[in-house]
Every structure is written in C-alpha cells, then in structure tokens.
Structure 1
Amino acid sequence: MKFAKGHGTENDFVIIEDHDGQLELSPERVQRLCDRRAGIGGDGLLRVVRAGALGEPLADGIADEDWFMDYRNADGSVAEMCGNGTRVFAHWVRSRGLVKADTFTVGTRAGAKTVTVHSFDEFEAQVSVDMGAARVTGVSTASMAGESFAGLGVDVGNPHLAAVIPGLSAEGLAVMTFEQPTFDESFFPEGVNVEVLTQLAEGAVSMRVFERGVGETRSCGTGTVAAACAALADAGYGTGTVSVHVPGGTVEVEIFDEDTRLTGPSRIVATGETAL
C-alpha cells in the first residue's frame, strides 16, 4: 500500500489515497500504521477519498465529487475534524493535481471546509482553512498532574477545553507536567481536547495541548482556534487575530463573529510503500 507522511507544525499524519473507498481501515490497522516504533508513525491518519465513496451521510455543502478527509486518531478512533490535518490534506490534493484550483472544498465530518492554498510545491505549502464558527459551550474544569484549572468549553467541530492560566509564562508552560487530564464527563460526554495557554500579549499566546485519542501533540489546529477564542475572551475581546505558538511552530488564527480561519504551513516529508 502506498503512503505519504506529512505534518502541520509537527502535528504529523500518515496519508493514504483511497479514491473509491475500497480500503479496509480497521482501528487496529490505523494503530499499526500510526505506531512510532513498529509502523510509520503519526498523530493520526488522513484517508483521501471521494465524498460519494465514503459510505456515510454527507453534511450540507459537500458534493459527491469533493475530496473528503477521513480522519482517524492514532488510537484508531474516528474524529470529526482536524485543522492541521486539513491543511496537510489540502496541500496533498493540490500538489498532486487532484484539484486544479487554489481555493476548494474539503469534506469533513464537521462539515464542508473551504481551503485556500496560498503557495505550494511538492513538499511545502502555506494553507488557510475556513474552520466555521467556534461555539462557546460554557465553563468547565480539568485536572492534570494534581493541578486543577478552569477553562472555556469551545466546539470547533470537536470538543475543547481551553484554559488561560493567569501569570503563566511561555517558559513556565514549557516545563509543565502534561499527562492524561481528568474532566467533567457530563459536560464532555464524548471526551475532550485540553489546551493550556498563556494570556494574550502583543497579539500572541503560547499553548500546549493534550488531544483526545492521541495524547500530547506538538500542535492541534482546532485547539489553536479554541485557544484563540479563550485568549480573546479572557482579554475582553470577541473577535481578533491571534498568533498561537505551539511546540511545533506558529499558526495564525482569525476569529470573526460567525467564522474562524486557521493559516499555517504544511510539509510533506516522505512517500513510500508499506506492508502494514
């Protein structure tokens, strides 16, 4: 089976083309492919499939001929959305000639996403994703390594708890102990991605994330959108542009009244064949 490997701010993915939806992708197979010792390794897997071949109901705005990002977490579970993965997915289909336009629709389980590939070659690209509205669901708490913190619940097509920690520096964030958080399961019945971030300063924040079904990752696209929403709210703003620094790099998040946009890099680092 042919594969590629790519990442968006070091949030890395196995890429599999399966245009007609013929590939059997069991959770166990996804786990093997994403295994960093015995497999290819990745935070998740992106299956490139025609929306009409997916075999699932499609959200409004997704046509059968659109390319659909069938995203799986590293544990094999199906995920609604992945912002960094969408950038890498868009880079792949544009650079491989599967689409001819720079702006096009990518189907996801969180709905149709408009993407714009600003620049690209075979290996590198700069991509924006219109992520849709970020919906604040309330305030909740989580605990990690014996510390409890309050955060803003934000739905970005998947659930997030973004916690702004007053007085936390980027250096302090970098040395925090990150482990499986506990959270209010009645508030987040399907689990949650947890972001911890600094307060907004000069239009920027630093963030770390523990992703549902994966663990701590170097970046999380939907998480950066949730973090930007929380940082702006903490600073008394409803909209704005935030540079979000994650361990894997920096992305720009724009928060509008009824939409959000994520812009950042994509890199394809390898192609090959696997027997997995």
Structure 2
Amino acid sequence: MEFTKGHGTGNDFVLLPDPDGQLDLTPELVAALCDRRRGIGADGVLRVVRAAKHPEGAGLAGDAEWFMDYWNADGSFAEMCGNGARVFVRYLIDTGLATPVGAALPVATRAGVVRARIDGATIAVEMRRPRVYDGSTATLGGLTLPGTAVDVGNPHLVCVLPAGIDLDALDLGAAPGFDRKVFPAGVNVEFVVAGDAVDGTDEHTLMRVYERGSAETLSCGTGACAVAAVALRDAGRNTGTVAVDVPGGRLTVTVTADSCWLSGPAVLIATGKTHPNP
C-alpha cells in the first residue's frame, strides 16, 4: 500500500491514494496505520478519492473533483479537519492530481465543499463560519471549567482558562469529561489563554486541544477556528483576524461575515509503501 506522510503545524496524517475508491479501508486498518509504534504514526488518515467514486462525496462531485475521506486515529470518522484539508490540498498539488484555478482549489468533505487558496508554503482553506451556540463545561483533573460550544462542521468546546490555571501544566493524558446531552457524538475540547498582541491581527490566543478519536494533538485547525470565534465574541467583535498559537506552531484565522479562513503551513515529509497487519 502506497502512502504519503504530511503535517500542518504538527497535526500529522497518513495520506492514501485511492482515486477510484477501491481500497478496503477499515477502522482496524486505520488504527494500525496511525499507531506510533507499530504503524506509520499519525493523528488520522486522509484517503484521497475522487468525489464521484465515494458514496459520501458523489453528491458533491459537480463542485469538487476530490473527496477528503478523513478518519481519526482510532478508526472513527470525522466530519471535517482543517489542517487535514490543507495537507490534502498540498498533496493534490504536489502530485499533479489537481491544478488550482486562480490559486484556488475546491475539496469535498463530509462537512461540504471547502475552498483552498495557495500562497507558496502557506495554504488557507475557507470553511463555514463558526457557530457559537451554547454554554457548557469540561472536567479535567478535578477541575470543572466553563466553556462555549462551537460548531465548525464538527463539534468543539472552547474553555478559556480562569486566572491562576497554567495552560502548559494541564494534564491531557486522559480525555476531558463533557456533557453528553450537549455533545452526543463527542467533542473536541480546546483550552485557551490570551496572548500578547501580534501585528496584523485583532486577537492572539494560545491553545491546547484534546481531539475526539485522536487524544491530544499538536494542532487542530477547526479547533483554532472555534477558538478564534470565541476570542472575537469576547472582544465584542463579529469579524476579525486571530493568531492562534498551538504546540506545533501558529495558525491564522480570519472570520468574515459568512465564512472562516484557516491559514498556515502544510508540508509533505515522506512517501513509501507499508504492509500493515492490523
């Protein structure tokens, strides 16, 4: 099985070329590929398949040739992955499977069609505007932390840390608790503190994230969008640009009146063949 390994600010993926949708991809195989000791190691798998050849992408084939079939590291599905979409686009371009038109390229996902914009090493993807819709709480190591529910095509709970709680000291070795009545399908939980001013942005935040199906990751693109939306709301703004620092680097999120742009580096680091034995 041929594969490519790539990452966006440390959020890493195994990409599997399967243009005609013939690969028998199973949860067990995905988990084996993502295993960091017995497999290639990744936060998730991106199957590269033509939209017309995938049952969940066929209805979007008129708007995008390629469908990003994203799986979490534990073999579960996810609706959307912002960093994954950026790495997916990098793969399409570098392998010659797609050519941007006017520096733009559409990609079909389970959350709909996203549009990518390419500027050298930086790739930005336009996604739906985050919907801030409810209050809830997360529990972690004996702490109960207030949070805000945000929909970015997938569910997020953004917890701005109260004064006196150190972001770096949080133990994310185990999944945070959350209200399953609010998040019946699980949730990605972001822990956030404000950062110093950054030129060219309206707000600056630092975040760590525990992703459902993948545990703590070095970065989460949709999580950065959710965090940006909450930071702007708390600052009394509806739109704006937010620098979001994650353990793997910096992402820039621009929330407009009707969409959200996630921008940052996306790189491919290896290609090869694997013989997984799940």
1:117-156 alignment runs, 5 A limit: 117-119=118-120, 125-156=121-152
Match of 1:176 in 2: 170
AA matched with 2:194: Q
Match of 2:220 in 1: 220
Which secondary structure state, in structure 1, belongs to the residue aligned with residue 230 of structure 2? helix
CA change 1:65–1:239 in 2 (3 A) is closer
Residues in 2 aligned to 1:145 and 1:269: alpha-carbon distance in whole angstroms? 36
Tell me the C-alpha RMSD between the 2 structures. 1.5
Give the count of matched residue pairs. 268
Match of 1:266 in 2: 266
Match of 2:186 in 1: 191
Residues in 1 aligned to 2:52 and 2:138: alpha-carbon distance in whole angstroms? 39
Which secondary structure state, in structure 2, belongs to the residue aligned with residue 204 of structure 1? strand
Which secondary structure state, in structure 2, belongs to the residue aligned with residue 5 of structure 1? strand
Aligned identity (percent) is 50
CA contact (8 A) 2:63 2:106 kept: no
AA matched with 2:110: R
Residues in 2 aligned to 1:105 and 1:65: alpha-carbon distance in whole angstroms? 5
Match of 2:87 in 1: 88
**Cα offsets for 1:220-243 (capped at 9, x unmatched):** 000000011111122222211000
Report the CA distance between 1:3 and its aligned residue.
0.3
AA matched with 1:159: P
1:2-17 alignment runs, 5 A limit: 2-17=2-17
CA contact (8 A) 1:168 1:198 kept: no
AA matched with 1:51: A
Match of 2:116 in 1: 115
Which secondary structure state, in structure 2, belongs to the residue aligned with residue 228 of structure 1? helix
Report the CA distance between 1:96 and its aligned residue.
1.1
AA matched with 1:83: G
Using structure 1 for the length normalisation, give the TM-score.
0.93
Match of 2:106 in 1: 105
AA matched with 2:204: A
CA contact (8 A) 1:128 1:263 kept: yes
Report the CA distance between 1:132 and its aligned residue.
1.3
Match of 1:63 in 2: 62
Match of 1:161 in 2: 157
CA contact (8 A) 2:64 2:107 kept: no
**Cα offsets for 1:146-190 (capped at 9, x unmatched):** 111111110000000011124368xx2112212311111000010
Report the CA distance between 1:201 and its aligned residue.
4.2
